[in-house]
Amino acid sequence: MTRTPAWARTWALMRAAASLLILAAIVAQAVRTIGGAIDAGRDVATTIVNFFSFFTILSNVVSVVVLAWAAVWFWSRGRRVAAPEPRALATVLACATTNMLVTGVVYNTLLRGIALPQGTTVPWSNEVLHVVGPIFLAADLFLAPRRRALPWRSIAEVLIFPIVWVVYTLVRGPLTTNPTTGAPFWYPYPFLDPNNFDDGYGTVALYVAGIAIAISLFATLVVWVGRRRGKPLTTNR
């Protein structure tokens, strides 16, 4: 079924719809977060940078872009040629899928129970960003047509984004004043904040190591499934 022209058209439309839904969720939460900063007289510039420093937001932004890209590619070219998706598209899809799976698992196992100030989160947006989006990207991995089989070295390419993000977060954290509390540091997630632990960066390092292992495993799974389902790389189109 997943190799028929009708399914390819259907899935392209679903990718476009998912891209729009995730984009709407990002915008809704951004409006709530930035609007709250304006109303409270907080540093708006720092609030905006902080908002786009969350792994969840960045992963969802990449998902919006790559799902829209995949839909446009199909309707502009893919439906006319019996060819797998381009190498660049396949690689970014693997990155987005890995990051969204990690987002879903980490949030629902480590962060869901953490209480947030009333009114700071848009409930439906929160579910789209942490549940619906990751589930769709997982489904895309197994159901999307025109998959390209990536080489195993693509796992290293997938890991570039989370590595850069962790370095950026740990370097920026102690240099940023929290616009809400006034504390001389800001971290997007409590398990990355060394101020939350008696041994400081020791526990943070353990969390980072655990998440790194999880990301590597998810990246391997994503590439493996793609290799099982997809067509081998024969061109750089």
Residue by residue, DSSP assigns 37-61 as: HHHHT--HHHHHHHHTTSHHHHHHH
The amino acid at 204: V
pLDDT at 152: 95
Question: How many CA atoms lie within 13 Å of 122's alpha carbon, on the beta-carbon side?
Answer: 17
Q: What is the mean pLDDT of the chain?
A: 91
| pLDDT one-digit tens code per residue, 88-117 | 999 999 999 999 999 999 888 877 777 666
**pLDDT beyond 60 at 197:** yes
**pLDDT beyond 90 at 4:** no
Tell me the average pLDDT across 208-223: 94
pLDDT at 109: 84
pLDDT exceeding 90 applies to what percent of the chain?
A: 75
Q: Distances in Å between the alpha carbon of 168 and those of 82, 89, 163, 164?
A: 41, 25, 9, 6
Confidence of residue 80 (pLDDT cuts 50, 70, 90): low
The amino acid at 176: T
Confidence of residue 124 (pLDDT cuts 50, 70, 90): very high
| pLDDT one-digit tens code per residue, 138-170 | 999 999 988 889 999 999 999 999 999 999 999
